[in-house]
């Protein structure tokens, strides 16, 4: 973790080192000023020597000025280093998130990633900025002040020692408790962000279901948990001040009492007593600052761990060295594939029950092959594993057992970019980005010409409605594609996938929001104009897949049939059932 964080600081090493240096110089000036004040009082004012007053006054002014300059320089360096550090952390995290596989994202959840990129990084940035200065200022000031006290009067310094023990003892107790509380805070932030993120993305659904109150309550609960933790931590911290004040006043009283005696005795001067008062404050303030450093360290350690975790995360799917860069054809083969959604380590701990082997797995013992250029339909109930199956083809997930081959090679042997260019998937949950229609289309293939885009849209039956939009292909799509209908969005996503000129096209329920006529037109256009491309069409409607060369029937993660429509009607009970229900419904509609 330390190494990971250091790598992000390295670029700002000079500034990070200059900050403590400037701070040390600033502290040196601060500590010496009271000493000069003592001389000004004793040698100048008390002795009635105006020349000494001017001299020591000028020295004091000069030192104050230097202290100011060092303070400003230190502040600038620390701000520069800390903001740079945060920027580096964010981009390192962002880069690694882009490398992550679907399974890694499942593990952290989107809201968790967002909290880490924002709240945790902010906490680290401010902690780093403050610690850089304070971690030098506090101990340095403490030591120098103690030293100066000893120089002035060793007997009176004993008072500080007693104060030091009392203060350290109480601060230790407060801080160790506060630190424990802060470790819980960031987990609560995840909950809060999850609530916010889900609610804002799904605000239309929330309104449609009149669930505002429920969502408000959910948010309030997450916010209250955080609030309670903070109140607890801050109430503990609030003890710091009164304890500190008590000790300071105790010291001042003791110092005044003993100091007065010594002055009467003639073993201490008034000037020395005055500067001792200043050093008491310095010593105790430094202790206070040191305690803050410890709080910040423990608090940011939790964030540092969460941030480093993301930067260090090795994606489940990594690009092989010297991967194959061309996919020869669009043939697909599954050999004894098993897949479940458990995380890697979880999968090793709990063995799959031998009696009900496919109960746990999303896919079990999948073996089939598809020739290049075939059109394959995939049908099965919800949750039967259709999306899971196609996600293995472009290696969005890796199978736990068995292998998936594309174009005669295991998908793991391909360069990921080459594979994913050759296998274009229109995901079931698809999104458009904010930008023009053309931007969105070219997102899949930046080099596509306008003609190519129009052609792809024609095949996807999107050309007509795009032309009718106010600015045609230059019309802006709002964030998340809210200004196009569900069916229009699906058609744009299909066009975007076609623009990659893939060898294999997977449509995961991609026409579910289109009417049956449009659905048929899209299939027809793709079938006639891209005969060499392998097409996999996942659908809920038998009507959408009945014309396919073959249809794969999935039931609860297992393939129960893979044949033509006519043959399946004769042999596959599940297919017969689905067909019966769907034709019956159409019959009702007609009637």
Ligand X SMILES: Nc1ncnc2c1ncn2[C@@H]1O[C@H](COP(=O)(O)OP(=O)(O)OP(=O)(O)O)[C@@H](O)[C@H]1O
> For binding to ligand X (CB under 6 A), which residues are involved?
106, 341, 362, 380, 382-388, 428, 509
Among the candidate windows 248-256, 421-429, 494-502, 558-566, which touches Mg ion by CB under 5 A? 421-429
CB of 588 to ligand X, least distance (A): 23
- Give the number of other Cβ atoms within 10 Å of residue 229's Cβ: 18
CB of 425 to Mg ion, least distance (A): 12
Judged by beta carbon distances under 5 to 8 A according to partner kind, the member of ligand X, Mg ion, none in contact with residue 42 is none
CB of 364 to Mg ion, least distance (A): 17
Both tokens of residue 172?
């230790």
CB of 172 to ligand X, least distance (A): 45
Closer to Mg ion by CB, 410 or 428: give it: 428
Judged by beta carbon distances under 5 to 8 A according to partner kind, the member of Mg ion, ligand X, none in contact with residue 486 is none
Alpha carbons 494 and 487: distance in angstroms, whole number:
11
Closer to ligand X by CB, 159 or 362: give it: 362
Both tokens of residue 432?
């458009």
Paired sense of beta strands 375-380 and 534-538, if any: parallel
Both tokens of residue 214?
């429920």
Among the candidate windows 90-98, 428-436, 547-555, 556-564, which touches Mg ion by CB under 5 A? 428-436
Closer to ligand X by CB, 96 or 103: give it: 103
Residue of 26, 85, 79, 34 whose CA lies nearest to 56: 34
Query: How many positions of this chain bind Mg ion (CB under 5 A)?
Result: 2
Find out whether 457 and 441 touch, Cβ atoms under 8 Å: yes
Residue 560 phi, psi (nearest 5): -105, -10
Closer to ligand X by CB, 279 or 339: give it: 339
CB of 508 to ligand X, least distance (A): 7
CB of 553 to Mg ion, least distance (A): 15
Alpha carbons 419 and 278: distance in angstroms, whole number:
72
Give yes or no for residue 540 binding Mg ion (CB under 5 A). Answer: no
Give yes or no for residue 428 binding Mg ion (CB under 5 A). Answer: yes
Residue of 467, 469, 463, 499 whose CA lies nearest to 484: 469
CB of 341 to ligand X, least distance (A): 3
- Give the number of other Cβ atoms within 10 Å of residue 522's Cβ: 24
CB of 372 to ligand X, least distance (A): 24
CB of 525 to ligand X, least distance (A): 24
Which residue is closest to Mg ion by CB? 387
Alpha carbons 128 and 132: distance in angstroms, whole number:
6
Closer to Mg ion by CB, 406 or 539: give it: 539
Closer to ligand X by CB, 7 or 585: give it: 585
Both tokens of residue 515?
């009417």
Closer to ligand X by CB, 269 or 490: give it: 490
CB of 447 to Mg ion, least distance (A): 31
Paired sense of beta strands 476-477 and 435-436, if any: antiparallel
CB of 538 to Mg ion, least distance (A): 7
Burial of 471: CB neighbours in 10 Å, binned 0-12, 13-18, 19+: exposed
Alpha carbons 369 and 318: distance in angstroms, whole number:
25
Closer to ligand X by CB, 53 or 105: give it: 105
Judged by beta carbon distances under 5 to 8 A according to partner kind, the member of ligand X, Mg ion, none in contact with residue 362 is ligand X
Paired sense of beta strands 332-339 and 363-370, if any: antiparallel
Give yes or no for residue 544 binding Mg ion (CB under 5 A). Answer: no
- State the chain's maximal CA–CA distance in angstroms: 119
Among the candidate windows 184-192, 234-242, 256-264, 385-393, which touches Mg ion by CB under 5 A? 385-393
User: What are the angstrom distances between the C-alpha of 383 and each of 339, 377, 556?
Assistant: 14, 17, 7
Judged by beta carbon distances under 5 to 8 A according to partner kind, the member of ligand X, Mg ion, none in contact with residue 341 is ligand X
Burial of 231: CB neighbours in 10 Å, binned 0-12, 13-18, 19+: exposed
Closer to ligand X by CB, 387 or 445: give it: 387
User: What are the angstrom distances between the C-alpha of 548 and each of 406, 494, 541?
Assistant: 20, 18, 13
Closer to ligand X by CB, 144 or 378: give it: 378
Judged by beta carbon distances under 5 to 8 A according to partner kind, the member of ligand X, Mg ion, none in contact with residue 388 is ligand X
Among 78, 387, 391, 424, binds Mg ion (CB under 5 A): 387
Judged by beta carbon distances under 5 to 8 A according to partner kind, the member of Mg ion, ligand X, none in contact with residue 19 is none
CB of 388 to Mg ion, least distance (A): 8
- Interacting residues with Mg ion between 266 and 305 (CB under 5 A): none
Judged by beta carbon distances under 5 to 8 A according to partner kind, the member of ligand X, Mg ion, none in contact with residue 106 is ligand X
List the alpha helices (DSSP H) in 460-563: 463-468, 486-498, 516-529, 542-545
Closer to ligand X by CB, 30 or 508: give it: 508
Judged by beta carbon distances under 5 to 8 A according to partner kind, the member of ligand X, Mg ion, none in contact with residue 410 is none
User: What are the angstrom distances between the C-alpha of 81 and each of 15, 88, 154, 293?
Assistant: 6, 10, 41, 18
* Angle between the N-to-C axes of helices 154-201 and 212-238, in degrees from 0 to 180, rounded to the nearest 10: 180
| Helices and strands, counts by H and E, the chain | 23, 12
Closer to ligand X by CB, 240 or 388: give it: 388
Alpha carbons 377 and 367: distance in angstroms, whole number:
16
Contacts of 150 (CB under 8 A, 6+ apart): 157
CB of 384 to ligand X, least distance (A): 4
Question: Which residue reads 């020395």 in tokens?
Answer: 272
Question: Which residue reads 């450093």 in tokens?
Answer: 293
Closer to ligand X by CB, 37 or 103: give it: 103
Site residues (vs Mg ion, CB under 5 A): 387, 428
């Amino acid at each position: 973790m330390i190494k990971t964080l250091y790598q992000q600081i390295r670029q700002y090493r000079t500034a990070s080192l200059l900050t403590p240096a400037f701070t040390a110089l600033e502290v040196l000036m601060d500590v010496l000023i009271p000493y000069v004040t003592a001389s000004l009082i004793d040698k100048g004012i008390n002795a009635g020597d105006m020349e000494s007053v001017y001299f020591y006054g000028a020295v004091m002014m000069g030192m104050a000025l230097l202290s100011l300059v060092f303070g400003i320089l230190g502040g600038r360096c620390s701000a520069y280093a800390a903001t740079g550090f945060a920027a580096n952390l964010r981009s390192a995290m962002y880069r690694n998130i882009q490398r992550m596989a679907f399974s890694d994202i499942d593990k952290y959840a989107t809201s968790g990633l967002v909290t880490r990129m924002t709240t945790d990084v902010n906490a680290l940035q401010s902690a780093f900025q403050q610690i850089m200065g304070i971690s030098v200022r506090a101990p340095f000031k403490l030591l120098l002040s103690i030293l100066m006290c000893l120089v002035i009067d060793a007997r009176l310094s004993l008072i500080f020692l007693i104060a030091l023990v009392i203060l350290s003892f109480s601060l230790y107790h407060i801080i160790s408790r506060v630190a424990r509380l802060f470790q819980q805070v960031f987990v609560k932030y995840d909950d809060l962000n999850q609530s916010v993120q889900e609610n804002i993305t799904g605000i239309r659904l929330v309104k449609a279901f009149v669930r505002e109150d429920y969502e408000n309550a959910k948010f309030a609960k997450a916010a209250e948990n955080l609030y309670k933790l903070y109140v607890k931590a801050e109430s503990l911290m609030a003890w710091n001040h009164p304890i500190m004040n008590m000790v300071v006043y105790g010291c001042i009283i003791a110092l005044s009492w003993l100091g007065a005696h010594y002055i009467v005795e003639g073993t201490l001067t008034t000037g020395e007593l005055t500067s001792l008062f200043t050093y008491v404050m310095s010593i105790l303030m430094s202790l206070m600052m040191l305690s803050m450093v410890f709080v910040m360290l423990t608090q940011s350690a939790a964030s540092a761990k969460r941030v480093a975790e993301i930067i260090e995360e090795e994606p489940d799917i990594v690009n092989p060295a010297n991967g194959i860069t061309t996919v020869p054809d669009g043939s697909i083969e599954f050999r004894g594939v098993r897949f479940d959604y458990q995380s890697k380590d979880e999968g090793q701990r709990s063995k799959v029950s031998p009696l009900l082997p496919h109960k746990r797995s999303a896919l079990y013992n999948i073996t089939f092959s598809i020739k290049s250029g075939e059109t394959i339909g995939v049908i099965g109930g919800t949750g039967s594993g259709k999306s899971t199956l196609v996600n293995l083809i472009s290696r969005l997930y890796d199978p736990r057992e068995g292998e998936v081959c594309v174009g005669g090679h295991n998908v793991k042997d391909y360069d990921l970019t080459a594979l994913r260019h050759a296998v274009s998937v229109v995901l079931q949950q698809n999104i458009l980005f904010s930008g023009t229609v053309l931007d969105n289309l070219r997102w899949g293939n930046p080099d596509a010409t306008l003609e190519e885009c129009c052609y792809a849209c024609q095949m996807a039956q999107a050309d007509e409605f795009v032309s009718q939009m106010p600015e045609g292909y230059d019309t802006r799509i709002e964030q998340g594609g809210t200004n196009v209908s569900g069916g229009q969005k699906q058609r744009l996503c299909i066009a975007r996938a076609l623009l990659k000129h893939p060898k294999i096209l997977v449509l995961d329920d991609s026409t579910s929001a289109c009417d049956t006529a449009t659905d048929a037109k899209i299939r027809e256009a793709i079938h006639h104009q891209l005969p060499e491309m392998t097409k996999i069409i996942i659908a809920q409607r038998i009507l959408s897949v009945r014309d396919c060369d073959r249809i794969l029937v999935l039931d609860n993660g297992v393939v129960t049939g893979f044949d033509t429509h006519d043959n399946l009607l004769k042999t596959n009970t599940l297919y017969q059932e689905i067909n019966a229900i769907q034709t019956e419904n159409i019959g009702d509609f007609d009637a």
